[in-house]
Structure 1
Amino acid sequence: MIDEEKGAVFFQYARYFLHGTVSPTPQGMRFIRKAQDILRSRDELLCEMRDQLEEMGTELSIGVPAVTGGYLLPPLLKAFLKKHPNVQVQLTEDSPAALEKMTENGTVDLSILPLPIENDRLAIRPILTEPLFLAIPNERENWMTGQLRKLMDSVRPNAEKIPLALKTAEDVPFILLKEGYGFRRIVLDLCAEEGFQPKVTFKTSSIETAQSLVEHGMGVTVVPRMVMRQGSDRIVYVPLQSDPSRTLVFAYPETCYLSRAARAFMETAKKNQTSMYEEV
């Protein structure tokens, strides 16, 4: 048995090795893995005991990519906090890759992430699936191919109703998200399915920045419906013939205890899915 004082020292050193910059030996790595399991079990037990004593936990930490969170979370949080006003919600914004690690390690209770999820130690629960569109400048640009110019001239102002093959964007400047963003992989996979690699001229960590570049005639990009700039007269959103989509999910540690607050938050999303999506 480890007494309270020795236990505190143990956990202090374990956390240091887990999150510090020291390069451990193989024996040290074994210690770290064991310590990580102990720390996780300890945190889960404390959370579970607190849940048994309280009707609802008082804290909930959620990880979310910045842009997705800005569109999806406000109506969802409003509905959740209306029913559970005493829960303090902490938001962490980061890239999907970073959030997967935070979720696995318990830094956040759960995260809202786009599929695919790379970490097989995370369980998922679907939130919604939405279509993807090709975003094109509404004005002619010198870089536009003859096919794209002809298409734009012939379908404007009904471009948003006529599906387009993504391969039409094969030879034009393409704006893509940076490494570490799940949506980047979705777009690259779509291009690969149509037999081409996009000519990437700009990489960004923000879909909002990507759309601004499109509005200023710098290229094209693919966006989910959620982030479309409704009412913009400088950008056209064209549906794609392959009818692609992306799915957002809740991700949480598969083998860890999930707090009542986290479960209640996911149930809120399920019950408010339709109205939530209409607001974003």
Structure 2
Amino acid sequence: MTSDWGIALTPRLAHFVAVARHEHVTRAAHELGVPQSTLSRAVTRLEDDLGVALFARHGRTVSLTPAGRTFLASAERALAAVEQAAESVRSDADPATGKVAFGFLHTLGWETVPGLIRAFRAEHPRVRFALVQTYGEAMLERLRAGELDLCLTSPMPDAPDLVARRLDEQRLRLVVPEDHPLAARRRIRLAEAAEEPFVTLEPGYGMRRILEAMCAEAGFRPRIAFEGEEAETIRGLVAAGLGVALLPPPAFARPGVHELTVTAPRAVREIGLAWAEGRPDTPPVAAFKRFLLSRRGHLLDQQVGAA
């Protein structure tokens, strides 16, 4: 069956199933709240489209033909699937118990996001969350595809199909091995690390773009020694003496490394909330969006070392 057949047949499935259950057109029409003549025409047209007789007529009553019994089983499954899908979307949109599909960066997953959800659920205890933890470009593609309602990302996206609002900023630090000559210092200009091998996240990650932009501002292009997919793995590579890294604060103290404040250029990354332009929010999504926007400037308060 082609998609055109599906479009043609779907509106008449409920009519067919009602007549089949009652074996009487008048009673089925009463149940559906439609004129008997309308229901009779719908069933006849369905038979004409299929090219088979679904009912045998016996005066005012009808009975299913063998073809009708076969078609009824599939029609009932199709209607049940539609009803289940409708119930699912109604449940997800329920203001009290609905669902929010929420994406965020790996580096916000230890404390920031759990703390935000805990604070939000103090007022909305039954709202459900589908959480997606990934890197920036992949998250924005899932946002565009409708798989996510909202996401926390960095750097801020600049695209006509997305809306982004700045929520906070996070200081970045130069991470060096604890036995590195720079480990004796507390502050550094990024240009002083121009000859160091860098360990960083792979292309497509927001921190990779930020590193390259900051190094360009400092007057050099970073020499990449190793690439990874997760910030704490990058710290582990630094601890092993494989290079230095520019990273946000850790969720917990990591042995084997020393972290320096970068004095120039200004070493911060903006954390923003993004959503798809023009897509209507369900009540739970709208409530969570308002909650996050209300925390502008305080999003990272609960994160270790965020100040």
TM-score if structure 1 supplies the norm length? 0.70
Aligned to 1:130: 170
C-alpha displacement of 1:5: 5.0
Work out which structure has the larger RCO, using CA pairs closer than 8 Å and 6 or more positions apart in sequence. Answer: 1
Moved more, 113-122 or 98-107: 113-122
1:75 equivalent to 2:115? Answer yes
Aligned to 1:240: 262
CA separation of 1:202 and 1:8: change in aligned 2, threshold 3 A: farther
CA distance in 2, matches of 1:130, 1:7: 55
Deviations 1:145-189 (A, max 9, x none): xxxx3x54xxx3xx33xx311112111111011011111101100
Deviations 1:218-275 (A, max 9, x none): 11000113x3643x45211111122221011111011111222222223333445638
Aligned to 2:200: 176
CA distance in 2, matches of 1:274, 1:78: 15
1:266 equivalent to 2:306? Answer no
Aligned to 1:139: 179
Contact kept in structure 2, 1:173 and 1:220, CA below 8 Å: yes
1:252 equivalent to 2:252? Answer no
Aligned to 2:135: 95
Deviations 1:178-218 (A, max 9, x none): 01111110110000111111111100011111111111211
CA separation of 1:7 and 1:192: change in aligned 2, threshold 3 A: farther
Aligned to 1:213: 237
CA distance in 1, matches of 2:294, 2:8: 43
Report how many aligned residue pairs link the two structures: 223
Contact kept in structure 1, 2:173 and 2:247, CA below 8 Å: yes
CA separation of 1:118 and 1:269: change in aligned 2, threshold 3 A: closer
Q: Which runs of 5+ in 2 are unaligned?
A: 11-85
CA distance in 2, matches of 1:106, 1:94: 16
CA distance in 2, matches of 1:179, 1:63: 19
CA distance in 2, matches of 1:189, 1:221: 14
RMSD of equivalent CA atoms: 2.9
CA distance in 2, matches of 1:62, 1:4: 37
Contact kept in structure 1, 2:168 and 2:299, CA below 8 Å: no
Contact kept in structure 2, 1:75 and 1:276, CA below 8 Å: no
What secondary structure does 1:83 align onto? coil
What secondary structure does 1:91 align onto? strand
The one-letter amino acid of 2:128's match is: Q
Structure number with greater Rg is: 2
CA separation of 1:8 and 1:138: change in aligned 2, threshold 3 A: farther
